[in-house]
Amino acid sequence: MTQLYTDEVELYDIAFTWDLEDEVSWLVARFGPSCMTVLEPGSGTGRMLEALALRGLAACGIDSSPAMVAFSRARLSDAGVHAGVMLADMTDFDLGMRFDAAVCPINTLSHLTEGELASHLVLMAEHLEPGAHYLVQLGVFDSEELPPPNEWEAERDGTKLRIEWALVERDVAARRERHRSRIEVLDGPRQGAVLDEVHELTSWGSSTWREAIAVSPFTQLATYDGGDRGRPEVELEHGGGLLWHELVAA
């Protein structure tokens, strides 16, 4: 894990916090009307957990970063909602219960190798009720063409940031991607500070993703374009960095 996920959790939360209302409405519809409990592996700073709890769902998150877990618990307490947050690795955990649904947004699973993803999916199936839906947001690319960098600004409580996230290398054959993030503090107590990091992730193509799901305890029900506000269903080969994969537990 890089500093962004360990020592700079507050900067992470400011940079990656946006209105989840519309997205959560869509997710809840995918979970189905009987869903009461939701598991989020890699729950980060608790944004999704808070949003789900505010919908009346019993949410539980796991994360391997102690700083993320502490931040999440404080966030939920400040919001006056309850959700469980546990320190655990998403490839090695046992919560002793099953959930009605699960969600894993913003390419979190790309931090796992092929073997780690296989282990993760086995554990997720063991923690989900049969037929439960697992919504995974994961980019799928069959080309080594690189998209333009994403740049934006974010501000909270007097701290203003400029963020740049760029995919700088993709090796489809080697199944690896290299991303670069740069967060500059424009205003606030840490004005002038810069966090510049490189993130090594797994690259997924349409065929390798299909193969991974085929040998897992899940089937893929549908793929949706998360970059479109309407989130239309698309073919996996359509590709993109914001694809939502709707998996169903055996």
The reply to whether 9 and 81 lie within a common domain is yes
Residues 194 and 210 in one domain: no
Neighbours of 19 (CB within 10 A): 8
Q: Are residues 65 and 110 in the same domain?
A: yes
**Are 192 and 209 contained in the same domain?**
no
Residues 82 and 157 in one domain: no
pLDDT of residue 241: 87
Angle between helices 114-126 and 206-214 (to 10 degrees): 40
* 112 and 157 together in one domain: no
Q: d(Cα 145, Cα 142) in Å, to the nearest integer?
A: 9
Quick one: what percent of the chain has pLDDT higher than 70?
100
Same-domain pairing of 195 and 209: no
Please give the model's pTM, rounded to 2 decimal places: 0.96
CA proximity to 212, closest of 236, 190, 178: 236
Per-residue model confidence as pLDDT tens digits over 109-136: 999 999 999 999 999 999 999 999 999 9
Range of the domain at 39: 3-141+205-249
Handedness of CA 133, 138, 142, 147 (dihedral sign): positive
The CATH number given to whatever domain includes residue 164 is 2.20.25
Residue 81 sits in the same domain as residue 115 = yes
Closest CA to 42 of 123, 98, 100: 123
Fill in the DSSP letter of residue 108: G
Q: How many domains does the chain have?
A: 2
pLDDT, residue 163, reads 98
Taking 90 as the threshold, does the pLDDT of residue 170 lie above it?
A: yes
Residues 227 and 182 in one domain: no
Tell me: pLDDT of 230 over 90. yes
Q: Find all residues with CB under 8 Å of 223, minimum gap 6, and list them.
A: 233, 234, 235, 236, 238, 243, 244, 245, 246
Number of H helices, E strands in the chain: 7, 11
The token pair at 212 is 């991974």
CB 129 within 8 A of CB 145: no
Residues 70 and 162 in one domain: no
Span 182-219, pLDDT tens digits? 999 999 999 999 999 999 999 999 999 999 999 999 99
**pLDDT at position 240:** 87
Per-chain mean pLDDT for the chain? 96
196 and 212 together in one domain: no
- pLDDT at position 182 is 98
Query: Would you place residue 239 in the very low, low, confident or very high pLDDT band (cuts 50, 70, 90)?
Result: confident
pLDDT of residue 139 exceeding 90, the answer is yes
User: Tell me: the pLDDT tens digits for 20-47?
Assistant: 999 999 999 999 999 999 999 999 999 9
Average pLDDT of 176-181?
96
Say which CATH number the domain at 67 has: 3.40.50.150
Q: Are 235 and 207 contacting, i.e. CB atoms less than 8 angstroms apart?
A: no
Rounded to whole angstroms, the Cα distance separating 4 from 245 reads: 26
Q: Are residues 133 and 233 part of one domain?
A: yes
